[in-house]
């Protein structure tokens, strides 16, 4: 009985590239998840470990980032065709390339602020016991991004610190918010207004930390909604890391980012009125 190698392909899956186009004050955003799969004369690497025909998947990933800088990202079809043609045309061993792209939608909130289309949910948690009734409203998975007006510097440096200080970064988070009412209200109107206050504070705060943005968001709800006694927020820092394109002799003035999913900073905090009725129930 003989054993043979059947159909095979390889490539870098799910390269998360965010491309910001800065046209003065007004920014454009493209957010892609790019998966490359190459096929061709690849018997040797499988059968004998000879890698002479293998373009590393790491190189494929770098190509995605470099092309995002060099050619921009307009239609995903064009970006995919450019990549696929490149791999087939430049690698003698590669005869086929499949590039699958997912493009995430972002809705504009301001000149450099965006909200991800998608999976936002509204939540309600009520507690009734001998002491009374409590209503906690909230939302989850509201993904917001500012492509400028965010700095992070002046923090502690210890022997393990490598993070460079920055005066220009992308700030993005998936807002999880809960707020508790001290009074019954028009739940729908309160929900919409609290949500709008959270979004407005995110958009309008020039941020020196996500912690500062968190406080501004909670405070804005309390300033605008007297029926709210306390706001609790959990804000994952959805890191957008500047790609180093210098090995390819390309500069990267805050245009091409890796959207890293893990690990992420998680900033949590409560903002409340000093005279808020005490509460130890569910949030
Ligand atoms: O806004 C931030 N807060 C932090 O506490 C922190 N830590 C970090 O590495 N990056 C950031 N960003």
pLDDT tens digits for 59-81? 999 999 999 999 999 999 999 99
pLDDT digits (tens, 9 = 90+) for 140-187: 999 999 999 999 999 999 999 999 999 999 999 999 999 999 999 999
Which of 61, 112, 238, 239 is the catalytic position? 239
- Ligand 1 in reach of 152 Cβ (< 6 A): yes
Q: What is the CATH number of domain 15-104?
A: 3.30.1130.10
> Is 239 a residue of the active site?
yes
Residue 155 CA to ligand 1 centre (angstroms): 9
Q: What is the pLDDT of residue 1?
A: 79
Instruction: Report d(CA 204, CA 194) in Å as an integer.
Output: 15
Per-residue pLDDT at 127: 92
The answer, yes or no, to whether residue 23 has pLDDT greater than 90, is no
Residue 277 Cβ inside 6 Å of ligand 1? The answer reads no
Ligand 1 binding pocket includes 150 (Cβ within 6 Å) = no
Give the model's pLDDT for residue 258.
97
pLDDT at 88 over 90: yes
Going by the annotation, the residues of the binding site for urate are 57-58, 152, 169, 211, 237
Catalytically annotated residue among 45, 57, 93, 185 = 57
Instruction: Tell me, using a 6 A CB cutoff, whether residue 237 lines ligand 1.
Output: yes
| pLDDT given for residue 279 in this prediction | 87
Domain boundaries, the chain: 15-104, 110-272
Q: Give pLDDT, residue 227.
A: 98
ipTM: 0.98
**Candidate from 237, 240, 269 with most ligand 1 atoms within 8 A of CB, to mutate:** 237
Binding positions are: 57-58, 152, 169, 211, 237
Predicted local confidence at residue 281, as pLDDT: 82
234 has a pLDDT exceeding 90: yes
| Res. 238: pLDDT tops 90 | yes
119 pLDDT band, cuts 50/70/90, is confident
Confidence class of residue 139 from pLDDT cuts 50, 70 and 90?
Answer: very high
Tell me how far the alpha carbon of residue 153 lies from the centroid of ligand 1, in angstroms.
Answer: 9
Question: Under CATH, which architecture does the 110-272 domain have?
Answer: Roll (3.10)
């Amino acid at each position: 009985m003989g054993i043979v190698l059947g159909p095979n392909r390889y490539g870098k899956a799910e390269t998360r590239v965010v491309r910001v186009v800065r046209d003065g004050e007004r920014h454009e955003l493209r957010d892609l998840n790019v998966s490359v799969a190459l096929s061709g004369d690849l018997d040797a690497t499988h059968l004998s470990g000879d890698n002479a025909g293998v373009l590393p998947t790491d190189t494929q990933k770098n190509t995605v980032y470099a092309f995002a800088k060099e050619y921009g990202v307009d239609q995903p079809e064009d970006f995919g065709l450019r990549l696929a043609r490149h791999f087939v045309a430049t690698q003698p061993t590669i005869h086929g390339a499949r590039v699958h792209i997912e493009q995430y939608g972002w809705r504009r909130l301001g000149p450099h602020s965006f909200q991800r289309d998608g999976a936002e949910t509204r939540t309600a948690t009520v507690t009734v016991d001998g002491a009374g009734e409590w209503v906690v409203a909230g939302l989850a998975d509201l993904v917001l991004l500012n492509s400028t007006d965010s700095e992070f510097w002046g923090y502690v440096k210890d022997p393990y610190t490598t993070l460079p200080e920055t005066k220009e970064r992308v700030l993005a988070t998936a807002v999880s918010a809960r707020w508790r009412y001290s009074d019954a209200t028009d739940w729908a109107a309160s929900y919409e207004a609290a949500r709008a206050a959270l979004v407005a504070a995110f958009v309008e705060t020039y941020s020196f930390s996500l912690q500062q943005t968190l406080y501004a968001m909670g405070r804005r709800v309390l300033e605008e909604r007297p029926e709210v006694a306390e706001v609790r927020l959990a804000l994952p820092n959805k890191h957008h890391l500047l790609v180093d394109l210098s090995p390819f002799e390309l500069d990267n003035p805050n245009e091409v980012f890796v959207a890293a999913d893990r690990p992420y900073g998680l900033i949590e905090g409560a903002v409340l009125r000093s005279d808020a009725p005490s509460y130890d129930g569910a949030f």
